[in-house]
Amino acid sequence: MAICYNKLWKLLIDRKMKKKDLLEQAGISRGTLTKLNKDENVSTETLVRICTALKCDISDIVEITDIEN
């Protein structure tokens, strides 16, 4: 299983937001944004901050996918 944040990027596009806007509104660091870009794990606290800033549910920004070997 792997985490994918494509839903987050699509949501930002739909809302005409830039990643910089997300940094400011959610109060997350550039390092965290880099992890999100690479589909790496981030803390639940970070995901809650993003959801609070975007007024959405976690399922709107995160997707769990199967890794095919």
Span 26-55, pLDDT tens digits? 999 999 999 999 999 999 999 999 999 999
**Tell me, what DSSP letter sits at residue 22?**
H
53 located within any domain: yes
Contact indicator for 15, 8 with CB cutoff of 8 Å: no
With bands split at pLDDT 50, 70 and 90, how would you rate the model's confidence at 16?
A: very high
Rounded Cα gap, residues 36 and 4, in angstroms: 8
3-class state of residue 18 by DSSP: coil
Please tell me the total count of domains within the chain: 1
CATH of the domain at 29: 1.10.260.40
* DSSP element (H, E) containing 63: strand 63-65
Residue 69 lies in a domain: no
Show the domain range for 14. 2-64
